[in-house]
Amino acid sequence: VTISALLFVTVVLLMYYVYIRLLDKYNFWKKKKVAFLKPIPLIGNFLPVLLLKSSMADVYSKAYWSYPEEKVVGAYNFLEPILILRDPNLIEKIIIKDFNHFEDQVTVADDGGLLSYTLFQLKGNTWRSLRYKLNTCFTNNKLKQMFNQMLECTDELINNIGSNLKNDIDIKDILSIYNADITASCVFGIKLDRTANRIFSEMVLSIFDIKPLSIFRILIIMNFQKLANVLGLTFMPKHVDRYMRELIRKTLVQRTNCEQKSNDFVQLLLNLKEKGYLEYKKDLNKEINPVDNIGKVLFAGGFDPVNNAMVFSLYEIARNPEIQENIRKEVKDILNKHGGSYTFEAIKEMVYLEQCIQETMRFFPLLPFLFRTCSRSYVTSDGLKIDKGQKLAIPLTALHMDHQYFPEPHKFDPHRFDTVSGYNTNTYLPFGGGPRSCLGMKFAMVEMKLGLAKIIEKYKFRLSPKTKLPLELNKQAFFNKPKYEIYLNFERLI
């Protein structure tokens, strides 16, 4: 027997072994007797994602729509099986009633990066403890104390629109300035000039960069953690991380040298730290500063998703002039009630405006899917055993557009949200649900309502002919984003 023959036999046997292992991997849902999308070896169901033709949300939505009679559907994130949830009752059990079995998010590779020592990555009692402490930063009273800072940021927003009335206005750019101002002011207590605002915005937007290489980076981080750690990949690019660390360092130095305390989230975190509620952590010989890391998440997580939601809201309101007039009437009536002034209480009373934002987020949820990880073995009412470590996904885009829960789902109808009983809260989850819901959702809603109310009060607007219709979503984006710019034409109201 020659060496060449031995090598050939060895290679064939290895290939056969890999093939058998793959067959076993991809028989996972078949053995569980769960309907599933047929996978491609090594790639699972992610081929269209790799070809940049579909988003991750599209894959999970396809699983949802492919089996309308099933409560759950199986899919494969490359080699890893993931369970797609379809049934509202099961969703409620997993995110609320039986939360103790599913209290963990899907962790990602982010050694020392954006998500380290944050609510996204922490598990079990460590997560529970930090969540309880951070809840105190997002009470109505704390938000009310920040309201005047937010109100000041709307002046620049209105002026930017007013100085471009003759132009087709790219609303993403205009709103980026507004949201950067609010993030800088309410998170770090700083005011940005035009140059600083541009740099600040660019840094945040680069985190969620939608270039093809960035998509592959995120896929590796989410699905191949060991490889991502070896390659040193993190959610936050290195240059943004350096910028953020320096910004937070300067803020902390300034607070140390100043007796006057600011109304912002960094100050609230410092207050918690002074009371011993936030501690430095040692992890892999690295010292993790909770104020630094939580500050970075507030910086990133509160900017891009909110900006996108406001862009989509203006798009829908521009398409529906009658709804626009109804909002304008509500805003003016409530302002008259409050002496013509924007106050925290006035914004809270703008119910119809909030319903319009809610309906927008039904069409375009901030995140198109939610993840959970089984932390304790669980058996569903139908006898399906979900093993510890199993990943689950809730496809919000599909749930929000299912006619079973939202009649005429493609119709923009804010009155769906006239009462909570008017819709199934387990099928409408734009901010997540249960104990793992978005901590900053109250802040985000005030930020959006304030900016939109000021715009609608001061200007009438419509879609510019420059806007490409029908609206398409960017398949390469992690969050819901328009594929092309949305342009509006504004007219000042007397």
With contact defined as beta carbons under 8 Å apart, do 71 and 86 qualify? yes
Rounded CA-CA distance 254/258 in Å is: 6
Residue listed under structure tokens 């529906």: 320
Rounded CA-CA distance 409/203 in Å is: 36
Q: Report residues of the chain scoring pLDDT below 50.
A: 282-288
pLDDT at 215: 78
pLDDT at 445: 97
The pTM assigned to this predicted structure is 0.90
**Nearest in space to 69 (alpha carbons), one of 35, 30, 29:** 35
Domain 124-492 has CATH 1.10.630.10: yes
Radius of gyration for the chain, computed over Cα atoms and rounded to the nearest angstrom: 24
pLDDT at 352: 98
The DSSP call for residue 39 is P
> Tens digits of per-residue pLDDT, 124-164?
777 787 788 888 888 999 999 999 999 999 999 999 999 99
Classify 479 as helix, strand or coil: coil
Any binding-site annotation on 438?
yes
pLDDT at 288: 46
